[in-house]
């Protein structure tokens, strides 16, 4: 079975043929007008000595008429074929869109089916709470439910994004605020976890980012002066203690 050409190729081929025919027809009209303007005899006419046209045997009038009708019919056929191909292409687009929607719906249905057991277990947990189950039993049941749900989603391709203590990455993280810290551009807190689906970002992690504190020149100068002042005070106290010891030693010698 011969392989059918794509619709867009058929359309382009028809358009090219129409343009070619139209161009040839326009060219013939221009040449005819130029020859008439210059007084050159056209097919079927021959200028004599007295300027009267004479019959020529090149192309009879009936043949010219037939050629014109054939070209016009061919153009009409090509235009009709082009319209049919355009309609077929539109139907093809609609059909593929419907098939795409059906595939997406099928994928959603399959995922929802896998989540139905968790809905059943959630209803059981709610019933247990209404029947005044112990806090310990409810906590244990919720932890088990969370683990099962996570395992099911990870099996489908979901993975948790690592963000805490990582360098801030705008492609993975969304900064909600900054705080002063020892390093610059580090994630110090995760406000909302981010997730990847089969290696692609499904949801960005909302994080708090550290920003290194910058000392102002004035503050640094004041700190330096304060340190020098304290150092001078300490040296003065040390000198006073040495002088006191010397005086006491002299008094002891006199005695």
| pLDDT single digits (tens) 99-135 | 888 888 888 888 888 889 888 988 888 888 888 778 8
> Model-level pTM?
0.48
- Tell which wins on pLDDT, 143 or 4: 143
Please give the pLDDT value at position 49.
41
Distances (CA, A) of 23 to 14, 15, 27, 30: 14, 12, 6, 10
Compute the mean pLDDT over every residue in the chain, rounded to the nearest whole number: 75
CATH number of 159-218: 2.30.22.10
**Burial tier of 26 (Cβ tally within 10 Å: 0-12, 13-18, 19+):** exposed
Strand order in the sheet with 200-203: 158-160, 195-197, 200-203
Please give the pLDDT value at position 45.
47
Domain boundaries, the chain: 1-35+58-116, 159-218
pLDDT in tens, 199-227: 899 999 999 999 887 765 555 566 666 66
Q: How far apart are CA 123 and CA 83, in angstroms?
A: 58
Q: How far apart are CA 82 and CA 76, in angstroms?
A: 10
Residue 74's pLDDT band (cuts 50, 70, 90): confident
Print the SS3 string covering the chain.
Answer: CCCCCCHHHHHHHHHHHHHHHHHHHHHHHHHHHHHHHHCCCCCCCCECCCCCECCCCCCCHHHHHHHHHHHHHHHHHHHHHHHHHHHHHHHHHHHHHHHHHHHHHHHHHHHHHHHHHHHHHHHHHHHHHHCCCCHHHHHHHHHHHHHHHHHHHHHHCEEECCCCCCECCCCCEEEEEEEEECCCCEEEEEEECCEEECCEEEECEEEEEEEECCCCHHHHHHHHHHHHHHHHHHHHHHHHHHHHHHHHHHHHHHC
The average pLDDT across 57-63 equals: 62
- Tell which wins on pLDDT, 143 or 10: 143
């Amino acid at each position: 079975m011969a392989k059918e050409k794509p619709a867009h190729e058929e359309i382009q081929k028809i358009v090219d043929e129409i343009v070619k025919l139209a161009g040839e027809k326009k060219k013939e009209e221009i040449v005819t007008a130029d020859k008439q303007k210059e007084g050159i005899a056209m097919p079927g006419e021959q200028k004599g000595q007295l300027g009267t046209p004479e019959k020529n045997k090149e192309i009879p009038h009936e043949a010219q008429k037939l050629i014109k009708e054939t070209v016009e019919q061919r153009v009409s056929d090509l235009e009709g074929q082009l319209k049919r191909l355009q309609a077929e292409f539109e139907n093809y687009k609609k059909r593929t869109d419907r098939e795409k929607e059906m595939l997406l719906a099928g994928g959603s249905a399959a995922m929802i089916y896998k989540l139905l057991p968790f809905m059943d277990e959630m209803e059981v947990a709610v019933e247990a709470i209404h029947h005044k189950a112990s806090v310990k039993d409810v906590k244990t049941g919720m932890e088990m439910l969370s683990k099962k749900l996570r395992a099911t989603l990870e099996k489908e391709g979901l993975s948790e994004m690592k963000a805490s203590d990582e360098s801030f990455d705008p492609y993975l993280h969304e900064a909600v605020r900054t705080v002063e810290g020892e390093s610059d551009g580090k994630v110090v807190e995760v406000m909302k976890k981010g997730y990847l689906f089969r290696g692609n970002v499904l949801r960005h992690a909302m994080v708090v980012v550290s920003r290194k504190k910058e000392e102002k020149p004035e503050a640094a100068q004041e700190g330096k002066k304060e340190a020098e002042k304290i150092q001078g005070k300490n040296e003065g106290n040390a000198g006073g203690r040495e002088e006191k010891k010397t005086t006491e030693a002299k008094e002891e010698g006199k005695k």
